[in-house]
């Protein structure tokens, strides 16, 4: 019985290796690709929270984008010219998550008062309201795809973090701290 099991395992291994061999049956001398390290199990809220920190991804910070269709609005340009870091929040006040998320942002901003500026844009309301129209225009120019959406820009004018959806206070605080160093 033991020989049968060993033969069966060897046959299955041979079939799986032949199936993974690629297009031809030629042997290659290249080393197989190294598998990425296993990631921890996703949290229940992982589909809602997207943490795209430059620290976590290894990507360098991106320059704050110049506006494609218009010149950079004064509300952003004055902060960039002064070398002030900024947290830009796009929100829809009609959404239920907005109040909770805004409380998280406000708690972090209270701790870092005077070190970083908060710019809040409301994407909800009357479509003829100039403030809402400006907010929607800024959102489109900056690639904002949903609400709430946060962009953190450091004092050198580089976007160091973007977040789509809810983020916990600790994550927001970590990114604000990076921007204010």
Mean pLDDT check: name the lowest of 53-62, 100-109, 134-143. Answer: 53-62
C-alpha angle 126-75-110 in degrees, rounded to nearest 5: 90
Sign of the dihedral defined by the CA atoms of residues 80, 86, 88, 93, in that order? negative
Span of 4-13, 38-47, 141-150, 161-170 with lowest mean pLDDT: 38-47
pLDDT grade for 94, boundaries at 50, 70 and 90? confident
Residue 161, H or E segment: strand 158-164
Q: For residue 140, give the nearest of 69, 53, 41 by alpha carbon.
A: 69
Where along the chain do its domains lie? 54-180
Provide the token pair at 129: 């309201």
Q: Inform me whether the pLDDT recorded for 11 exceeds 50.
A: yes
Q: Rounded to an integer, what distance in angstroms lies between the CA atom of residue 55 and that of residue 74?
A: 29
Cis preceding-peptide flag for 148 (omega within 30 of 0): yes
Q: What CATH fold (topology level) applies to the domain 54-180?
A: Glutaredoxin (3.40.30)
Q: Which of 48, 99, 85 is nearest to 177 (CA)?
A: 85
Q: The whole model's pTM is what?
A: 0.63
Q: For residue 71, is pLDDT > 70?
A: no
Q: d(Cα 42, Cα 28) in Å, to the nearest integer?
A: 36
Residue 119 has a pLDDT of: 92
pLDDT tens-digit readout, 20-65? 554 444 544 454 455 544 444 444 433 333 444 444 445 566 667 6
Give yes or no for residue 159 having a pLDDT over 80: yes
Say if residue 166's pLDDT is above 70.
yes
Report the C-alpha gap between 121 and 40 in whole angstroms. Answer: 35
């Amino acid at each position: 019985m033991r020989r049968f099991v060993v033969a069966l395992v060897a046959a299955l291994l041979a079939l799986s290796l032949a199936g993974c061999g690629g297009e031809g049956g030629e042997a290659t001398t290249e080393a197989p690709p190294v598998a990425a390290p296993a990631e921890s199990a996703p949290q229940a809220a992982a589909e809602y929270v997207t943490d795209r920190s430059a620290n976590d991804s290894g990507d360098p910070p991106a320059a704050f984008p110049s506006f494609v269709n218009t010149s950079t609005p004064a509300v952003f340009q004055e902060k960039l010219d002064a070398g002030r870091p900024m947290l830009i929040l796009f929100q829809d006040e009609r959404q239920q998550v907005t109040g909770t998320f805004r409380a998280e942002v406000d708690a972090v901003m209270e701790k870092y008062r005077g070190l970083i500026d908060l710019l809040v844009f409301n994407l909800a309301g009357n479509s003829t309201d100039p403030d809402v129209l400006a907010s929607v225009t800024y959102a489109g120019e900056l690639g904002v795809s949903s609400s709430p959406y946060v962009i953190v820009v450091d004092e050198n004018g580089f976007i160091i973090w973007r977040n789509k959806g809810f983020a916990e206070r600790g994550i927001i605080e970590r990114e604000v701290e990076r921007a204010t160093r």
